[in-house]
Chain A
Amino acid sequence: MAEVFLKNFFKRYGEVVAVSDVSLHIHDKEFVVLVGPSGCGKSTTLRMIAGLEDITSGELYIGEKQVNEVAPKDRDIAMVFQNYALYPHMTVFQNMGFGLRLKKVPKKEIKERVEAAAEIVGLTPYLKRKPGTLSGGQRQRVALGRAIVRNPKVFLFDEPLSNLDAKLRVQMRMEISKLQRTLGVTTIYVTHDQTEAMSMADRIAVMKDGVLQQFDTPMHMYDHPANLFVAGFIGSPAMNMLPGKLDELKIFKDASGLFTLDLNGYLPSSIDAGEYVLGIRPENIRGDNRLNNPFYVPIQILADVVEPMGSDSYLYFKIGDISMTARLRPETAPQEQTAATLYIDRSKIHFFYAETGLNIKN
């Protein structure tokens, strides 16, 4: 088993800088998810780890060994792709055993290892079938089996669930997590879906425009986003963000001037007056204050749209020009198009410098 260490990774395609100075120290047996919007360089980073792209500059260690110049097949990695990437002309058995065959592993051992892997991913009855006759979920299981058979030091996944329907995705998500825990293989998993990232990762690496934004555990990242981008990307519905000004008395006033919030005692005393962005997660806006919680501040709003989700209701409203979302207990949700009082939990607010987007607590 192995640690993976990316040191100052850069990838340039001519003028385009696809990955810029990414460093990640991934522990043995850790499940790390690379997440970010389309085009942020996740796949490129993963493909550099796999050896499918040259590393423009930087160093890559798998285990103790520097592997920059090592061929993909000798890096002791296995990769699962979004489009399954199965060999259509080979049976499931041949697909899973192909790598071992090329390594000249004895036939008998190939058979044992393929059958063991097929057992793990539940494909034993399908070993003689061609991929074309399997469903999407089954195909991705074959790809998973092919990765397991190699018995690698590192699993690499590039959006393996994107082609599956929602229900199957949730199921496979759990299976992959469980599998990774049982096998104890260091895993790097790329997705653009923050829910997948939150639910699977030991640690999440958020990227944007080729730059690593934050590398942290899901909960710590959720509670302490390093900057506005991470704050907006992690969490669904997304964090509400209100740009505005803080005065000397630590009173925050939004851009429209209609909304004020007394933050005295809720911000570090060292913070100066100036331009800031206030971040409030939807669940930190409440529909009532029955316990008279002193952190809660009432605000008057006009309820725009209410979306009942069953366990919660999402309430959409506006402060000035800014669209806001509150996640309320259904019984506390107001009627649509009525005036209502909501409560902001000041103990849970996030505060960012307007200029840099950085969290003031960094």
Chain B
Amino acid sequence: MKKFLFYILLGLAAFAFLYPFIWMVSASLSEERSITDVSLWPVALTFDHYIKLFENIPIAGSFVNSVFVATIVTFGVLVFSSMAGYALARHRFKGRNLLFYFLLFTMTLPFQLTLIPNYILMVQFGWTNSFAALIFPGLLNAFAILLFRQHFLSIPQDLIDAARIDGCNEWRILFQILWPVSVPTLITVGIITFMTTWNDVLWPIIVIREEHLMTMPQLVTLFAVGGRSMGQIGMKLASATLLALPIIIAYLIFQKHFIQSMAASGQKE
């Protein structure tokens, strides 16, 4: 009996979380004037909002931009952060600890603090209004380095020594020996990086002006809060739905790892 109550409570909670989301999807498929309903089912089903959306803004292009940027950044973070993590975990060199503490310190800084300096840097490099501004600042990530370092510390030194005797150089050790035994960490870092990059709005808004270079969240945000949606809630909701879709699909594919990586981001592995 107790269990039954418990499940009812859980069900209600789940509903409370899911409701706005389901409503968003169904409303985006309803006629504009019925959107104020709280219905969970589309009223007078229509794809008008989506069609108008595609006519009005280059949302498909922005989707491609987002995928492109997030993929490159994710791949870059995996490669470079694992390299840095490996060096910090397994190589002895002068200033290693200092470097590591410095890295930890940068993690405590709120990103708002570095926003302006970073922007000025992009201007100096002449990278504003280009993918370079979206990609390069994201390629190294203190948090990812930390995760890799901690993980590599847990791998027995013997494995690395054996590889070295077998004739591996540092590249091979990292990518051919350590990567294959670090799949969970790679997935964790990959998912977190991909999601953060995908969802980022503020930075793109600062460095990108031209519509054909915009990422999807940037475009959708500008569209939803700016005047372009002609005050039509339906179109705003349709754009929001499209924005959430890739993450939801990714979630369904990586469900198991997703939950692990969310837990991992809150604590040491």
Give chain A's interface residues, CB within 8 Å of chain B.
47, 50-52, 72-73, 77-79, 81-89, 98-99, 102-103, 146
- Given the known A-B contacts A50-B161, A81-B162, are A102 and B167 also in contact in the complex, defined by CB atoms under 8 Å? yes
- Residues on B with beta carbons closer than 8 Å to the beta carbon of A146: 162, 166
Closest chain A residue to B160, Cβ basis = A85
Measured in the bound complex, the distance between the Cα atoms of B163 and A85 in whole Å is 9
Q: What 7 A-B pairs are tightest by C-beta distance, nearest first?
A: A85-B158, A73-B167, A99-B166, A89-B180, A85-B162, A102-B167, A81-B158
A79 pairs with B156, CB closer than 8 A: no
| Chain B residue nearest in CB terms to A98 | B166
B181 contacts partner chain A, Cβ-Cβ < 8 Å: yes
Given A83-B156, A83-B158, A87-B159, A78:B165 Cβ within 8 A: yes
Residues of B within 8 A of A88 (CB): 180-181
Contact in complex: B167, A99 (CB < 8 Å) = yes
Taking the closest CB of chain B, its distance from the CB of A81, in whole angstroms, is 4
Q: Can you name 22 A-B pairs with beta carbons within 8 Å?
A: A51-B165, A52-B161, A52-B165, A72-B164, A73-B164, A77-B165, A79-B161, A79-B165, A81-B161, A81-B162, A83-B158, A83-B159, A85-B162, A86-B162, A87-B163, A87-B177, A87-B180, A88-B180, A89-B181, A102-B168, A102-B172, A146-B162
Q: In the complex, which residues of chain B have a beta carbon less than 8 angstroms from the beta carbon of A78?
A: 165
Assembly CA distance A146 to B161 (angstroms): 14
On whether the beta carbons of A85 and B156 are closer than 8 Å, the reply is: yes
Which of B156, B163, B165 is in CB contact (< 8 Å) with A50? B165
Does B166 lie within 8 Å of A102, measured CB to CB? yes
B156 surroundings in chain A (CB, below 8 A):
83, 85
Q: Closest CB of chain B to A99's CB: distance in Å? A: 4
- Closest B residue to A47 by beta carbon equals B161
The docked-state distance in angstroms from the alpha carbon of A84 to that of B161 is: 11
Residues of A within 8 A of B181 (CB): 87-89
Known: A88-B181, A89-B180, A89-B181. A73 touches B166 (CB 8 A): yes
Q: A73 to B180, alpha carbons, bound, how many Å? A: 22
Q: Which residues between 125 and 180 of chain B lie within 8 Å of chain A, taking CB atoms?
A: 156, 158-159, 161-168, 172, 177, 180
**Assuming A52-B164, A89-B181, what are 10 further A-B pairs, CB within 8 angstroms?**
A72-B164, A73-B166, A81-B162, A83-B156, A85-B158, A85-B159, A85-B161, A85-B162, A87-B162, A88-B181
